[in-house]
Structure 1
Amino acid sequence: MTSFSLATINVDGSPTPTLVVGDRYYRIPDVAPELAVSGRGGLMTVFERWAGAEPALVAAAGRLTAEPDASPSLSAPARLEDWLTPLQYPHKVICTGSNYYDHVTRDGGHTGFSKEDNIPVFFLKPPTTTLVGSGRSVRYPVQSAKFDYELELAFVIGKRGRHISVAEARNHIAGYTIGIDLSARDWQRHPKHLVKFDLFGGKAFNDSCPLGPAVVPARFVDPGHLDLRFWVNGELRQDANTADMIWDVGEQVARVSEHVTLEPGDVVMTCTPAGVGLATGTWLKVGDRLEGQITGLGALSVEITDDHG
């Protein structure tokens, strides 16, 4: 079976839902017209009808592998900025916190805990103002002096559900992509906060969730055995494997669905391994170039710019 991914690419100033097969790029409406995907609905239209859309895309990818010129292809994106965030926009971006053993022990200083005696923590990022794509896409949060990064595996929901069992959870995941959870650590724990903990100020500010470059269907991904690597200005900061997760993706689906209905297109970020700036006191600054890579999902590269409003 031919592997493929789904992206949203800037073509002549318009967000274009794109099927990526090898090194070729195709407008989804050209290769799977039955999906009735438009630039306005974008890939959200695909994930909202994933049960029928996936077979159509599998068939299209197979045809295009055999005959790459069977449909007109797009030019490869000329700039990083042409790789837009794939989903514009999901109903929810749900983030899992403290979900890698080494992050909890090395970065967080917690030892002697057991999975059985704990439950995962979740929080939300507002999709329309936090999700950004590649390139010069992240404005520095001027309210913060402790700007930090967290490379994360993210997954996209393809089937609506509530109170989903762990056994059924994988059937609700449509695909996987790369996310970066950017954090303002001095707002996450601010001395003037009454309770000294704030995931809104610390995690939900503008441009705090780069996502991309594309979504790879779940059938092509083994989420429990993926290498994650993250660089700041070419310096390796994080190097780990998803096998170190405390709660795997199925358990996260089950736990999240105890609280809310998961809807097609929803994004779930799965937390980060050790190596964040919080552990070393090394913070991000304007001009820094960040790159995250996850096995089989490509690379997500962004640059931090001044915030001019």
Structure 2
Amino acid sequence: MTSNSAVPYALARLRLGGAVHVGLVVDERIRPLDSVELGANDLNAFLANPDWDRLGALAVTESDEWMALKDVTLTAPVEPRQVLQAGANYREHVIELVAAGLTQNSDRTPEEAREFAARMMDDRAANGEPYFFIGLPACVVGDDVPLVLPAYSEVHDWELELAVVIGREAFHVSREDAIGHVAGYTMVNDITTRDLVFRKDMKEIGTDWYRAKNAPGFLPTGPLLVPAEFVDADNLGVRLELNGQTMQNGSTSDLLFDVAALISSASKTMPLLPGDLILTGSPPGNGQHWKRFLRAGDVMTSSIDGLGTQVVRCVAPGGER
């Protein structure tokens, strides 16, 4: 199932006649929207000043244009100009990582290491700032595009994340005002090539997010853009299955910095534009944890409460399974 019947309606983008159109999704049906019905010339223009009431009225209107979702091809539901990614933002996940490192590299017992890591995270949440890096918008694709696993590595990893879709431009906004700049939410699987994260030729440089996270198709997105009023971003289940086996099963209630904090912090540096994405971080259970990375033929089935289901198929270069 691609849609979610608990959500009255959502937006998507579908392929029709060689072009991509904005579509309105209700249950298991979709209808393309022209600029008059959308009330804007394109999706980002709509998100800058959205008229959700117009779409709500269309959602209950009968029309010959309604089609079954199973009969159409959806692609990424957004066209961001900027993609910001929050790192180390799930409390339990980071505690596990820090505690594991302390246990291996100090005299602390596992219990002492975990308590120390928990205090660190609580202090960071109270007094720290979110950590961001930048993704390339060109990497944003729908799950209609197979994930080609680059041949230069065998340690490509998954990281399912809730993604914020910006509505009104946000620049120097406070935490109190930040949510007013959210148009909606979608999901993104932030693919990472683990052995490229840290530079080996000059360790002083540190992380290399460009090479590790920005190969073609490394940001499978969607399938739905769900209006913010239908989403409780503070309490969403985040689940990823690999070939039917549950690998990630977390909740956004574990975020160190919530959506408002992320938007406020990110907007201090650069204006966030309509349609831009802010990825909120990934819960525990990625391939690095399981010591199992992506292979040709793998199928990732991802879901976040209310945001539908994403199915990504992995292929080798050239399309071989």
Per the TM superposition, whether the score is higher than 0.5 is: yes
Q: How does 1:39-58 map to 2 (within 5 A)?
A: 41=42, 43-50=43-50, 53-58=51-56
**Equivalent in the alignment of 1:72:** 65
| Cα distance in structure 2, aligned partners of 1:252 and 1:261 | 13
| TM-score normalised according to structure 2 size | 0.85
**Equivalent in the alignment of 1:261:** 271
Question: Which of 232, 236, 241 is residue 222 of structure 1 equivalent to?
Answer: 232
Question: Which of 169, 184, 191 is residue 193 of structure 2 equivalent to?
Answer: 184
Q: Deviations over 1:24-75 (max 9, x none)?
A: 2111128x536144xxx4x22321332xx323212322x42xxxx2452134
Q: Counterpart amino acid of 1:91?
A: R
| Cα distance in structure 1, aligned partners of 2:224 and 2:69 | 14
- 2:286 maps to 1:279: no
Q: Deviations over 1:132-171 (max 9, x none)?
A: 1114521112222211110100110001121111111110
Question: Which of 2, 14, 18 is residue 9 of structure 1 equivalent to?
Answer: 14
Q: Deviations over 1:2-32 (max 9, x none)?
A: 72100001123321210011222111128x5
**Equivalent in the alignment of 2:318:** 308
Please give the root-mean-square deviation of Cα atoms over the aligned residues, in Å.
2.1
Q: Counterpart amino acid of 1:159?
A: R
Give unmatched runs, 5+ long, in structure 2.
1-5, 102-116
8 Å Cα contact 2:155/2:194 also seen in 1: yes
Query: For the pair shown, which has the larger CA radius of gyration, 1 or 2?
Result: 2
Q: Percent identity?
A: 29
Q: How does 1:116-135 map to 2 (within 5 A)?
A: 116-128=126-138, 130-135=139-144
| TM-score normalised according to structure 1 size | 0.89
SS in structure 2 opposite 1:212?
Answer: coil
| Cα distance in structure 2, aligned partners of 1:290 and 1:2 | 23
Q: Deviations over 1:245-276 (max 9, x none)?
A: 00000100001011110111101110001111
SS in structure 1 opposite 2:69?
Answer: coil
Moved more, 295-304 or 130-139: 130-139
| Cα distance in structure 2, aligned partners of 1:283 and 1:137 | 16
SS in structure 1 opposite 2:289?
Answer: helix
Q: 1:139 to 1:168 in 2, by over 3 A?
A: same
**Equivalent in the alignment of 2:106:** none
Moved more, 10-19 or 191-200: 191-200
**Equivalent in the alignment of 1:94:** 84
- 2:217 maps to 1:207: yes
8 Å Cα contact 2:75/2:144 also seen in 1: no
For residue 278 of structure 1, report the CA deviation from its aligned partner: 1.4
**Equivalent in the alignment of 2:177:** 168
8 Å Cα contact 1:228/1:242 also seen in 2: yes
Q: 1:29 to 1:135 in 2, by over 3 A?
A: closer
- 2:31 maps to 1:26: yes
For residue 293 of structure 1, report the CA deviation from its aligned partner: 0.6
8 Å Cα contact 1:132/1:138 also seen in 2: no
For residue 243 of structure 1, report the CA deviation from its aligned partner: 0.2
- 2:75 maps to 1:84: yes
| Cα distance in structure 1, aligned partners of 2:126 and 2:27 | 43
**Equivalent in the alignment of 2:96:** 106
| Cα distance in structure 2, aligned partners of 1:95 and 1:122 | 5
**Equivalent in the alignment of 2:165:** 156
**Equivalent in the alignment of 1:143:** 152
Q: Deviations over 1:267-308 (max 9, x none)?
A: 111000111111232111111101111111111110111223
**Equivalent in the alignment of 2:114:** none
| Cα distance in structure 1, aligned partners of 2:70 and 2:217 | 22
Q: Counterpart amino acid of 1:35?
A: G
SS in structure 2 opposite 1:214?
Answer: coil
8 Å Cα contact 1:107/1:274 also seen in 2: no
